[in-house]
Structure 1
């Protein structure tokens, strides 16, 4: 403060001196007049201007003091807000770790409200809350106990009933966390674009319908989808990186129907589709990357019915189809957007043709490398659309290889 006030005075004096010098120059640089030759009116004007200069110096000092006081007040307010946030955060996380599921639920909602109330410009506080909620989902999750035989001991049956109630309570807390995250990603909130770490999480239900993944890093790597219904229906993947690498789809239903892949990168590399239903029905791939490289389709059903592959890039390179029912009926393929290079068809059923479902066959350009992969694979596993099959039989393989006639002739 002691240095700022003299600096402010120096600025004011410099400005006044510059103005006086400019006025003197504009007046033709008149010569100075002795004080005893000045008129009373002139002396009065000089006194008035002197007081104005002194008042200006005082105003400059007052302005500096007011600015510093305001700055100190704002800094103190920010410290108080941060302190209050920390106190609320500590209480909410303690609730989340409580032994009673009802108190955990209160902690989940308290944390969500806390993130919504984070001071502007403090998005790292929102990320901190997201990290805690994701960490809760990554905690070990005790599975539902196996059914007892009908002639089980009554005491044992009562013990199992209590375990079922405890499991249902914990599952409700977990599903609430997923639902709250989905709600905040569905609308334009500060939760979008953050990092979400669901690595290794066991999902037995959850609502992420309509979520918007528009930035950041989202990891479902190694996640297990073993039962219940998890919905990504109508979700939008428009930026950032979303990874299902190594995820296991072994039961229940995980739906990506009507999802839009219009940017960013979505990875299902090395994922295992080993049970349940995973529909991508009517999904739209118009940009970015959708990568199934080295994925394994061993059981269950995967639907690409009516999927629009009109842009971006979709890779099934190195994918193994050994037992799943995979449907591409009604799918639309654009040129050079989908690749089946080094894909292996050794079991199950992969169909691109209408099976009396009321939908048309897969249409457009046959994906790159598909016909070659079919020739290498087990007979009867893949059913091509009649158009592609007839083109292959006639020897005109350009549609099946995803290249133009001119390119094949060259």
Structure 2
């Protein structure tokens, strides 16, 4: 029986069940109904026979009473089966609706992905917003939509308009992606929040961007990222319980600002990062618990500032930087 059920199991990814054929179900249902009716009739007949025999004086069995009891029982069984049929029909309708929704969402995903690959910056911007809206509507594939936006940032990028490979409007598209991500990291209680989702910026080139007031609670990976100019803001950002990797990141110019940021629990890893220029600013940042790792970091020309930072029980691993007071 179990093997038979497994054979009839709907293929994975289908929303509509694989039903048995009518030519098989109809005669089986008819036979079962006849057997059930005969069984109920026999039970009712025995019951009324015993009841009639117990009377003083004994009376003959009233066949009409037996038939009425049988019909009543069959009517009740029929009502239950009708309810089950209605329930199954509702499930089929919901499956059709679910399939239609999934098809529509998949079409939206395809359209947004095509827009992101367009030559014109305005169309790519439309694709960014379309994919962000899709992520809000499609919780099951929200991580996929986030991954596509992050993958766009990881693509080769030439910020200098005088150098071959530069694409007109590309900086605005990339900064818009960063803003969209930031807007989804502001309130962890929002049902469309991305705070607990993974963000993969591996190898991304940043020449500016605003991630201020963001809440990072998942895996955020800036491994091998290049901060080559402008200002990347993490002002008042909160890093709690997750992991933020800046392993082998290169800070070659511009400013990366963690002013008033809060690091509570989790791991912030700058291991092997290179600070060859620019400034990384932790002014008034608060470190409470967790671990901050600057081991094996290189500091040939950059500046890392911890002025007025607060430290409470954080485990630090220091590289070329002086240990801040209070640690």
| Range class of TM-score, shorter chain | 0.7 to 0.9
Is the partner of 1:210 in helix, strand or coil?
A: coil
Q: Tell me the TM-score normalised to structure 2 length.
A: 0.78
Structure 2 SS opposite 1:222 = coil
Is the Cα–Cα contact under 8 Å of residues 5 and 61 in structure 1 kept in the other structure?
no
Task: Note the aligned Cα RMSD (angstroms).
Answer: 3.2
Which residue of the other structure, out of 195, 200, 203, is the alignment partner of 1:200?
A: 203
1:185-264 matched pairs, under 5 angstroms: 185-188=185-188, 189-215=192-218, 217-264=219-266
Q: Which has the higher relative contact order, 1 or 2, with Cα contacts under 8 A spaced 6 or more apart?
A: 2
Q: What do the CA deviations read for 1:164-203 (whole angstroms, capped 9, x no partner)?
A: 9x75611000000011011101123342221211111100
Looking at structure 2, the residues matched to 302 and 267 of structure 1 have their Cα atoms a distance apart, in angstroms, of 14
Per the alignment, in what secondary structure is the counterpart of residue 299 of structure 1?
coil
Question: What corresponds to 2:13 in structure 1?
Answer: none
Taking the TM superposition and a 5 Å limit, the aligned residue runs for 1:170-181 are: 170-181=170-181
Residue matched to 1:332: 326
Counterpart in 2 of 1:144?
160
Conserved in 2, the CA contact under 8 Å of 1:231 and 1:255? yes
- Partner Cα distance (1:92, 1:306) in 2: 45
> In the TM superposition, what are the counterparts of 1:353-368 in structure 2 within 5 Å?
none
| Partners of 1:104 and 1:173 within 8 A in 2 | yes
- Whole-angstrom CA distance in 2 between matches of 1:283 and 1:5: 73
Question: 1:58, CA displacement in angstroms?
Answer: 0.8
Distance change (3 Å), C-alpha of 1:175 and 1:43: same
Gaps of 5+ in 1: 25-29, 147-159, 334-410
Which one of 119, 125, 135 corresponds to residue 151 of structure 2?
135
Contact 1:304 1:327 (C-alpha < 8 Å) held by counterparts: no
Asked whether the 8 Å contact 1:220–1:247 carries over to 2, the reply is: yes
Find the partner of 1:100 among 112, 120, 141: 120
Query: CA 1:132–1:304 in structure 2 vs 1: closer, same or farther (change >3 Å)?
Result: same
SS class of match (2:248): coil
Superposition deviation, residue 48 in structure 1: 5.6
**What's the offset of the Cα at 1:236?**
1.1
Q: Structure 2 vs 1, CA of residues 64 and 300 (structure 1 numbering), >3 Å: closer, same or farther?
A: same
**In structure 2, do the counterparts of structure 1 residues 5 and 249 end up closer, same or farther at CA, with 3 Å as the change threshold?**
farther
Q: Is the 8 A contact 1:239 1:264 kept in 2?
A: yes
Q: Deviations over 1:208-266 (max 9, x none)?
A: 11111112x22100101111111111111112221000001111111111111112111
Higher strand share: 1
The Cα offsets for residues 71-107 of structure 1, whole Å up to 9 and x where unpaired, read as 1111111111111111111111111000000000000
- Contact 2:229/2:254, CA 8 A, preserved across alignment: yes
Deviation digits for residues 342-368 of structure 1 (CA, Å, limit 9, x no counterpart): xxxxxxxxxxxxxxxxxxxxxxxxxxx
Residue of structure 1 equivalent to 2:281: 279
> Could you tell me which of 20, 34, 51 is aligned with 1:32?
51
After TM superposition, which residue ranges in structure 1, 4 or more long, deviate above 3 angstroms? 1-6, 46-52
Question: Equivalents in 1 of 2:157, 2:98: separation in Å?
Answer: 39
Match of 1:313 among 309, 312, 315: 315
| Length-normalised TM-score, structure 1 | 0.63
Structure 1 position 70, deviation (Å): 1.3
In structure 2, the gaps of 5 or more residues are 1-19
Q: Please give the alpha-carbon distance, in whole angstroms, between the structure 1 residues aligned to 2:267 and 2:172.
A: 31
- What is the total number of aligned residue pairs between the two structures? 287
Of residues 41, 46, 52 in structure 1, which corresponds to 2:72? Answer: 52
SS in 1 for 2:277: strand
Give the deviation of 1:32 after TM superposition: 3.2
Q: Cα deviation per residue 1:114-155 (whole Å; 9 max; x = unaligned)?
A: 11111x5x1xx1111111111111111123145xxxxxxxxx
